[in-house]
């Protein structure tokens, strides 16, 4: 195998790695968005619980 072909295979492998990282990054963005939504829902629930607890104290 000549040097040009070795370099081509090396570049192809690097391209595959980067493509996998891009896909993983896109999946991570989706997962992060879901976690953020869950967090904000829980924040709302916590605020409601605090308000209910305060109204019962009064």
The residue assigned the tokens 């879901």 is 34
C-alpha to C-alpha distance for 47 and 58, rounded to whole angstroms: 17
C-alpha to C-alpha distance for 3 and 31, rounded to whole angstroms: 42
Residue 27's pLDDT is 96
* Residues 19-41, mean pLDDT to the nearest whole number: 96
Give rounded-to-5 percent helix, strand, coil for the chain.
Answer: 95, 0, 5
For 1-21, the pLDDT digits (tens) are: 799 999 999 999 999 999 999
* Residues 13-40, mean pLDDT to the nearest whole number: 96
Band of pLDDT at residue 34, cut at 50, 70 and 90: very high
What is the full DSSP assignment across 3-43?
HHHHHHHHHHHHHHHHHHHHHHHHHHHHHHHHHHHHHHHHH
Residue 30's pLDDT is 96
The DSSP symbol for 1 reads: -
* Residues 27-51, mean pLDDT to the nearest whole number: 95
């Amino acid at each position: 195998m000549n040097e040009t072909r070795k370099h081509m295979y090396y570049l192809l492998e690097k391209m595959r790695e980067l493509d996998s990282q891009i896909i993983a990054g896109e999946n991570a963005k989706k997962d992060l968005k879901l976690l953020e939504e869950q967090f904000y829902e829980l924040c709302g629930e916590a605020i409601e619980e605090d308000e209910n607890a305060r109204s019962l104290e009064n």
